[in-house]
Structure 1
């Protein structure tokens, strides 16, 4: 292989009589070689690639979980509304009366328990009450479903 074929691999050979052109060609070649080395180093850095893929997977899973939670909330609200719409008014009234009675009884029981119960038990009961208050609509919908089920079952038993 002669000298001319070796330098004629992919880049034009600058005119050797013009040193400025040779410097520019050397600078371009260095820049291109630097970018190539950086690209090869990035491909060889398996740990960094794994971290990037892990971060991307976490982000995707987080987005998907948020989307699923939103969809689940929407479906629960639809189901609650459907139950309310399909439940006859007398059942809703009886459910409201039962809920009031339960609240009243629970208040009395809570007062009695507060007078007689040890502190750790009171703390746990407070947590349960907070949970019930936070999920009031779901608990009421569940109560309405249970009351409707029991009334339907009771009505069928009389036939």
Structure 2
């Protein structure tokens, strides 16, 4: 037979002995569960990965905020130092580009047949597919 632990008194009745056995079972179960958690490498790796992902996301958000602040500051400095004639030229060029884009859109709308305008995306896709087929056939011939 085994010796009882030195720090635990021996049971004086069967009921006390059953309680000691039950308490020991629970302690042993907790110990086994803790050991199983330590040996579950996959779960521990997933926890570390999740933690690293959270840290990376937080750092990325912080750096993105800093970059936006610096970009806004740089844009403000450039705008302050830009001579007025250059600013006026840039504004005029932007207005011209916007007007030209509007004219091109209007020309497309006015001159392109309605059947083509309505099916613009499929026509572009068909043209791209045809070009790809020609390239593939040409490559096979070589």
Looking at structure 2, the residues matched to 75 and 22 of structure 1 have their Cα atoms a distance apart, in angstroms, of: 73
Q: Which runs of structure 2 are paired with 1:41-56 in the superposition (5 Å)? A: 41-56=36-51
Gaps of 5+ in 2: 125-142
Looking at structure 1, the residues matched to 58 and 95 of structure 2 have their Cα atoms a distance apart, in angstroms, of: 41
Looking at structure 1, the residues matched to 107 and 122 of structure 2 have their Cα atoms a distance apart, in angstroms, of: 13
Candidates 76, 83, 94, aligned match of 1:81: 76
Shift in CA distance, 103/83, structure 1 to aligned 2, threshold 3 Å: same
Superposition TM-score, scaled by structure 2 size = 0.65
Counterpart residue number, 1:120: 121
Counterpart residue number, 1:102: 97
TM-superposed deviation, 1:78: 1.5
Specify the SS of the correspondent of 1:7.
coil
Misfit runs of 4+, over 6 Å: none
Give the total of aligned pairs.
118
Q: Which has the higher contact order (CA 8 A, sep 6+)?
A: 1
Looking at structure 2, the residues matched to 41 and 84 of structure 1 have their Cα atoms a distance apart, in angstroms, of: 63
| Deviation per residue, 1:102-138 (Å, 9 max, x gap) | 2112222332344458713998xxxxxxxxxxxxxxx
Superposition TM-score, scaled by structure 1 size = 0.59
Counterpart residue number, 1:70: 65
Specify the SS of the correspondent of 2:8.
coil
Gaps of 5+ in 1: 124-159
Counterpart residue number, 1:31: 26
TM-superposed deviation, 1:46: 1.6
